[in-house]
Amino acid sequence: MYRRTNTPNPPAAFFDNSNPEGERLRRAAASAAVDDMVKWFKNENSTIAILDATNSTKMRRQWIKERCDAERIETLFVESLCNDKSLVMANIVEVKTTSPDYVGQDPEAAAKDFLDRIRKYEEVYEPLEASENLTFIKIVDVGAQVIINAIRDYIQSRMVYYLMNLHIRPRSIWLSRHGESEFNLSGQIGGDANLSHRGQLYARTLPNLVQESAGDRKLTVWTSTLKRTIQTARFLPFEKLEWKALDELDSGVCDGLTYGEIEAQYPADFRARDEDKYNYRYLGGESYRDVVTRLEPIIMELERSENIIIVTHQAVIRCIYAYFMNMAQEKSPWMEVPLHTLIRLTPGPYKTDEQRWKANIPAVSTWRGKGSAAKHQESPLGTPGTELPEPVMKANAT
Amino acid sequence: MDTLLTAEVYANSPRFRRRSSVFVDAIHDMPETQELAPAQLYSTESGRLFHSGRIVIATVGLPARGKTHISVAVARYLRWLGVKTHVFHLGDYRRSTVGPGKDVPDDYFFVNASPSSVLLRNKILKKCREDILNFLEHENGQVAIYDAVNPRAGGRQAIAKEFAKHKIETLFIESSCDDQRIIEENVRSVKISSPDYIGWNDMDAVRDYLARINARIPDFESMHEKDLHWVKIVNGGDQVIVNNCKFGYLSQRIVFYLLNLHIKSRQTYFARAGTTTEEESYKADAHLSEEGREYAKKMSETLFEHRKKERQAIIDRGGPDNALKPLTIWTSTRKRTVETAFDLADMGYRVRQRTQLSQLHPGDLEKMSEQDILDKFPEEVKKHAQDPYHHRYPRAESYHDLAVRLEPIILELEREQNDLLIIAHESVLRVLYGYLMACNATDIPKLDFPRNEIIEIIPSSYSNLAKRIKIRSLPEHIVPNSPDIIPLSAVPSISVSSFTNGDEITSGSATPSASGASQGSSQGASETPIVGKGAMVSTSVGSGGLGAVADADEISLPPAAQAEQDLESDPLPVREKVAINPTAQS
C-alpha cells in the first residue's frame, strides 16, 4: 500500500535488490508503514497491527523488531515458505494477478512479471531462523509443516492456532437456510418442525441451485441436528455431517412462541432484545454472543476445509456471514437472510465475494426489523419468492 | 475409607487403569456417562465431538522430558472440553506384568535385545494396545493417550499403521530437550523421590538417574518422519514444530493447547479475597473492610512462611537454593481482590490484574436475600437445585458460562512458569480448582473454600495434589464461604440425593462440602469404588477424620505417598507401592 502510493504499477526491476533507486524507495515505504503503525498504536485503543510486507532479510526484521521494542510493541513474525513450485504458480495466478499492482494488465504478462519479482526477492531472501531471537511462526508448504518459535503469551498462541487452520487454496462456502418449515408458516420461533410443502420443494430444487453455482465441484454438506435442515439437505449428492453447534439459537422459554406471544407474555424481554439483540439472552436460552462462542469449532473447521455447503438456521447464518463479511456486531443480528436462497461466499485476498441464487419458490418472510411490530415483515430486499433475475445481487465486503 | 490405591489394586484392576484418591485429582477416573464436562459446549449421540474422529496420541521422548506430564495435561484439557479421553501409561503395564519389586531386563529398550526381552516387550505392548482399542471402539472413547517412550521410527510407523487399520489417526507428541538444566530440574522434582534414592544428596541422585537412562535407552531417534502426524516440543516450548497435523479440529486444538504448556513443575495457590465494607453488593465494588485488610495481612504472612519452609526443606535435601520458583499473583480487577494483594505487592511480588477473573455475575439476584430470591424466583430456585452448574438465574451467569469465559485464563495458567497465587471470588476458584483437579461439573458449585485456608495445588507427574494451608486466628464469622448468590439451603422441599446443602452454608469448618463419598462411583462393579472424584478432600468422614488432620497446619500426603505418585513413569526399578490411608493417622 505504502509503496503503491509512489509506484502504483511497478515493474519487476523495482524489486531488484541491486537497483539503488528501488532499494531506497522500498526502504522509504517500509519506514512510512512502520511510522504509521507506531502512530496508530499511540493514538487509538489499538491492540494488533498487521505489517503486510515481505521482510525477507534478517536485517529488515531486526530493524522492525528494534523499532517495535522501543515502542514496547510485541512482534510476531509470520513466514509462509513454499517449496512446492506448483503451489506457488497457482497462488500467483489466483491471487497476484488480481492484485492492485496489475490492474488493467494482461494476466499472463502479469504472472511473468510477478515471477521475475519473486526471483529478485529470492536473491536476498533469508528464511527465519531461531538464532534471530524472534517470536515467529513459519508455515511450510501451506501447513504441511509449521515451526513455531518463542511464543510468549496466550494471544500469540491464539493467533498461531488460527494461522495453522488457514489455507490459501481457492474455495467457496455456500450458505442456505432450511426450506420453509411448518413453524415458519405459523410464525413460531425455534422448535424442531418438519418442512412445509414449499420447504420440501426447495429441498428438491437445492441440488440444481448448487449445481448452477458450484459446477462439478465436490462439496461437503454440513447441517444442524434439527429436522428442517436435514430434510432440506437430503437430496444433495454429497457427504453430509450433522453439527450440534449449527443448531438454531436457543430461544429458551420463548421456544415455540410467535413474536406476538412473546411480546404479550414477556414484554420487558421483547423490548430488551430490540435494544441489544447481540447480547440479549433469552430466558433459559442463548444470545447471539453465545452462538458465536459455540461456533468457534465451526469457524476453525471452515477455515481448514475447502468447499462446504452449510444448511442451517437464520441466526447461525447471520453469525457465519458476519465473520466472513466482517460485519459489525450490532448489525449482524438484524441482517435479512431470506428463505429459499443460496448464498455463496468466496474469500479472496482483498475481499470476500458474495453471490446469491434464489429458488423460484415462494416462502413466508421470517424477518422482523428493529423496533417494529411483533410480527414478521415483508423483506426490504423484495418480496421473497417473486421472480428475480439470478443471481439477484452481488456484494463485496471491504 | 481406604481410598488411596495400592500396587495390588493397580495390578488387579481389569484394565490397569489408575484411580484418583482423596487428595489426588480425578484425571484417571472415567467420567460418569452422559454427563457434560465443565466447559463442554454441546453433546452428541455418539459421545464424540467436532467430527474429529478417534485419535491416539502417542508420546515420544526419553525419560524426564515431561511425557507423562504432557499426557495428563492434554487429557485434563480435552476432558474439560468434553472430549472423552483416557491416558494409558505403558509403565503401568510394564510394572504389572513383571510384578512388584521386579524390573524389566537390562536390554529391554535395546534395538538388538535378546529374544526373551523382545517377547516380554511385545507382551506388554500388546496388552496396552488392546486396552486402547477397547476404549476407542467399545467405550465411546475419542482420544486415547498412549504414554510411552516410543524411541524408534520403525516402531512409530508400526503403531500408526496398526491404528489406521481401525480408522484411528495417530498423533505423536515428542518432548525433546537438550537443555540440561530443564532435564535435571525435572529429574529432581519428579523422579528421585523414589525409595531407591532415600538418603542420597539431590544432585548425586540426579546424576545417577541420568546415567542409568543413557545406558538403558541408547538408541533413541527424534521424530523426522514426514508422513506421520507429529508435534515436537523443543526445550519445553521454546520451539514447537508441527508436522502434517491438519487432519481435524481436535488435532489443531491440541497443538494450540501445547503451545501454552511447559514441562516445568510449579505450584498454584488459591486464596479468597478479604471481606469488604459492602459485602452484598456486586455493583458497588467496595473496598476492603478493616477485617478484610487484617485477613489480607494474615493470608500473606501465612503464604510467605509456608514458602519459606518449603524452600528450606528442599535445601535440606541437598537441592539448589533457588529451587522455589518466583511467585506471581493474579487478581481480578475488583477492588477487594486487588487490595487483598497489597501486602504481597509491598513485599515485592508481581501482581497482575485479570479482567476475566471476575466473579460469577449475579444478574437480578444482586443484593437480594435468600428469602427475597425464594419469594421472587421460586421456579428458578427449583431449577437451580436440579442443575446448579448449568442453570442461570435471570440475567446471571452460570458456572458453565464462567468456565467457558475462563478459557484464556486456563491456558495462561498452563503457560505461567512462576508459582502462582490467584486471589479471586469463590465462584472463580471453584471453576479453576475444578479444572486442575478434574472435578465433575456437578461437583464444582459445591466446592467449599473457607477463608481460613490457602489451597495449594502441587503437580506431580501423574496427577495434581491438593493441600490446604491453614490461616490461623481469623475471626470466626469471616471464615465460611462467602454469602453465595445461590442460596440452595433455603430451598426446603427439594431433595437431590447427591448434595446436602445445609452443610455448605452452615458448616464453617475446614471440611469441604464437596460431595465426596456420598457420590460414590458408578463405575463397573468389577472395579474398586472410588471416593473423592477429584473433590477437594473426601468428606465421608465428616468432621471427625478430617477435623483431626486439619489440626495440623497443612494437610499433605505423607512423603511415601508422593513417591508412589511420582515413581511410575520410567523404566527404572520401582519398589512395591505402599498403601496409605490418611485418615488412619487420626
For residue B544, give the H/E element and its range: helix B542-550
Q: Please name every residue paired with B470 in a beta bridge, in sequence order, or none if there are none.
A: B453
Q: pLDDT digits over B32-67, tens only?
A: 656 788 888 877 777 788 888 899 999 999 988 989
Q: Are residues B244 and B289 in the same domain?
A: no
Grid coordinates given for B49: 465431538
Angle in degrees, CA B450, B451, B454, rounded to 5 = 90
Q: Are residues B203 and B308 in the same domain?
A: no
Our count of domains for chain A comes to 2
Sign (positive or negative) of CA dihedral B145, B146, B150, B153: negative
Q: pLDDT digits over A121-153, tens only?
A: 788 889 999 899 999 999 998 888 999 999 988
Q: Are residues B328 and B429 in the same domain?
A: yes
| Residue B181 pLDDT | 86
- Catalytic residue flag (residue B131): no
Instruction: Please check the confidence at residue B571 and state whether its pLDDT lies above 50.
Output: no
Instruction: Please check the confidence at residue B500 and state whether its pLDDT lies above 80.
Output: no
A-interface mutation test, from B36, B172, B176, B239, most A Cβ less than 10 A away: B239
What residues contact residue B26 under an 8 Å CB cut-off, 6+ apart? B20, B437, B438, B439, B440, B532, B533, B534
What band does A388 get if pLDDT is binned at 50, 70 and 90? very low
Is residue B415 less than 8 Å (CB to CB) from chain A?
yes
| Residue B22 pLDDT | 45
In terms of pLDDT, which residue wins out, A53 or B580?
A: A53
Q: Are residues B157 and B298 in the same domain?
A: no
Which of the listed residues A139, A165, A191 is the one where a domain comes to its end?
A165
Question: B391, B383 in Cβ contact below 8 A?
Answer: yes
Q: Are residues B216 and B343 in the same domain?
A: no
Q: Nearest chain A Cα to B238, which residue?
A: A150
Nearest Cβ partner for B241 among A145, A293, A301: A145
Q: Are residues A284 and A328 in the same domain?
A: yes
Q: What CATH number does the domain containing A63 carry? A: 3.40.50.300
Instruction: Please check the confidence at residue B544 and state whether its pLDDT lies above 70.
Output: no
Q: Are residues A112 and A192 in the same domain?
A: no
Q: Report if residue A367 sits inside a domain.
A: no
3-state secondary structure of B454: strand
Nearest Cβ partner for A148 among B259, B411, B415: B259
Q: Are residues B160 and B214 in the same domain?
A: yes
Options A248, A269, A286, A354, the catalytic residue: A248
A-interface mutation test, from B36, B40, B42, B52, most A Cβ less than 10 A away: B42
Q: What CATH number does the domain containing B113 carry? A: 3.40.50.300
Nearest Cβ partner for B242 among A145, A158, A245: A145
Q: Are residues B70 and B136 in the same domain?
A: yes
| Residue A96 pLDDT | 63
Give A295 to chain B, closest Cα distance, Å. 10
Which chain A residues have a beta carbon less than 8 Å from that of B50? 297, 301
Q: pLDDT digits over B268-318, tens only?
A: 999 999 998 877 677 778 899 999 999 999 999 999 999 999 888 888 877
Q: pLDDT digits over B208-233, tens only?
A: 888 888 888 888 999 999 999 999 99
Q: Are residues A126 and A177 in the same domain?
A: no
Considering only CA atoms, which of A279, A292, A282 is closest in space to residue A321?
A292
Q: pLDDT digits over A15-44, tens only?
A: 666 667 777 887 888 889 999 999 999 876
Which chain A residues have a beta carbon less than 8 Å from that of B42? 244-245, 247, 294
Q: What CATH number does the domain containing B463 carry? A: 3.40.50.1240
Q: pLDDT digits over A200-212, tens only?
A: 999 999 999 999 9
Q: Report if residue B404 sits inside a domain.
A: yes
For β-strands A239-242 and A220-223, DSSP reports them as parallel
Q: pLDDT digits over A350-379, tens only?
A: 789 999 999 999 998 888 888 787 777 765
Give B444 to chain A, closest Cα distance, Å. 20
Q: A244–B43: do the CB atoms touch at under 8 Å?
A: yes
Q: pLDDT digits over A77-98, tens only?
A: 999 888 877 777 777 776 666 6
Give A310 to chain B, closest Cα distance, Å. 15
What band does A11 get if pLDDT is binned at 50, 70 and 90? low
Instruction: Please check the confidence at residue A67 and state whether its pLDDT lies above 80.
Output: yes
Name the residue range of residue B392's domain. Answer: 268-478
Q: pLDDT digits over B241-269, tens only?
A: 999 998 889 999 999 999 999 888 889 99
For β-strands B229-234 and B168-176, DSSP reports them as parallel
Query: In chain A, which residues touch B (CB < 8 A)?
Result: 130, 143-151, 153-154, 157-158, 160-161, 164-165, 167, 241, 243-245, 247, 281, 283-284, 293-294, 297, 300-301, 304
What residues contact residue B88 under an 8 Å CB cut-off, 6+ apart? B128, B131, B132, B135, B144, B145, B146, B147
What band does B577 get if pLDDT is binned at 50, 70 and 90? very low
Q: Report if residue A91 sits inside a domain.
A: yes
Q: A161–B256: do the CB atoms touch at under 8 Å?
A: yes
Q: Report if residue B434 sits inside a domain.
A: yes
User: Mean pLDDT score of chain A, rounded to an integer?
Assistant: 86
- Catalytic residue flag (residue A52): yes
Which of the listed residues B260, B294, B311 is the one where a domain comes to its end?
B260
Q: Are residues B205 and B57 in the same domain?
A: yes
Q: How much is the average pLDDT of A251-277?
A: 92
| Residue B248 pLDDT | 87
| Residue A149 pLDDT | 94
Instruction: Please check the confidence at residue A66 and state whether its pLDDT lies above 90.
Output: yes
d(CA B286, CA B288): 7
Nearest Cβ partner for A244 among B44, B243, B408: B44
* Entry field: residues in chain B: 586
In terms of pLDDT, which residue wins out, B218 or A174?
A: A174
User: Mean pLDDT score of chain B, rounded to an integer?
Assistant: 77
The pLDDT > 90 percentage for chain B reads 40
The answer to whether A169 is a known ligand-binding residue is: no
| Residue A193 pLDDT | 95
Q: B51–A245: do the CB atoms touch at under 8 Å?
A: no
Which chain B residues have a beta carbon less than 8 Å from that of A310? none
Q: Are residues B273 and B376 in the same domain?
A: yes
| Residue A260 pLDDT | 93
CA B570 centroid distance within chain: 20
What band does B8 get if pLDDT is binned at 50, 70 and 90? very low
Q: pLDDT digits over B329-384, tens only?
A: 999 999 999 999 999 999 999 999 998 898 888 888 877 878 888 888 888 888 88
What residues contact residue A248 under an 8 Å CB cut-off, 6+ apart? A190, A224, A226, A312, A313, A314, A315, A316
Q: Are residues B247 and B120 in the same domain?
A: yes
Q: Report if residue A228 sits inside a domain.
A: yes
Q: Report if residue A330 sits inside a domain.
A: yes
Our count of domains for chain B comes to 2
Q: Are residues B250 and B299 in the same domain?
A: no
Options A178, A313, A340, A376, the catalytic residue: A178
B window 174-193, beta carbon within 8 A of A: none
DSSP string computed for B188-256: IIIITTSGGGTT--HHHHHHHHHHHHHHH-TT------TTSEEEEEEGGGTEEEEES--S-HHHHHHHH
Q: Nearest chain B Cα to A140, which residue?
A: B243
> What number is the ipTM of this complex?
0.81
d(CA A147, CA A135): 11
Half-sphere exposure of B264 (CA within 13 A, CB side): 24
Instruction: Please check the confidence at residue A274 and state whether its pLDDT lies above 80.
Output: yes
| Residue A201 pLDDT | 96
Q: Are residues A159 and A233 in the same domain?
A: no
Angle in degrees, CA A334, A340, A342, rounded to 5 = 80
Nearest Cβ partner for B256 among A145, A157, A294: A157
Give B415 to chain A, closest Cα distance, Å. 8
Name the residue range of residue A31's domain. Answer: 2-165
| Residue A335 pLDDT | 92
DSSP string computed for B331-385: E-SSHHHHHHTHHHHHTT-EEEE-GGGPPPP-GGGTT--HHHHHHH-HHHHHHHH
Q: Are residues A178 and A149 in the same domain?
A: no
Q: Are residues A131 and A186 in the same domain?
A: no
Instruction: Please check the confidence at residue A291 and state whether its pLDDT lies above 60.
Output: yes
Instruction: Please check the confidence at residue B565 and state whether its pLDDT lies above 80.
Output: no
- Catalytic residue flag (residue A84): no
Which of the listed residues A165, A191, A209 is the one where a domain comes to its end?
A165
The pLDDT > 70 percentage for chain A reads 87
Q: Are residues A114 and A232 in the same domain?
A: no
In terms of pLDDT, which residue wins out, B130 or B30?
A: B130
Q: Are residues B432 and B370 in the same domain?
A: yes
Which of the listed residues B430, B455, B478 is the one where a domain comes to its end?
B478
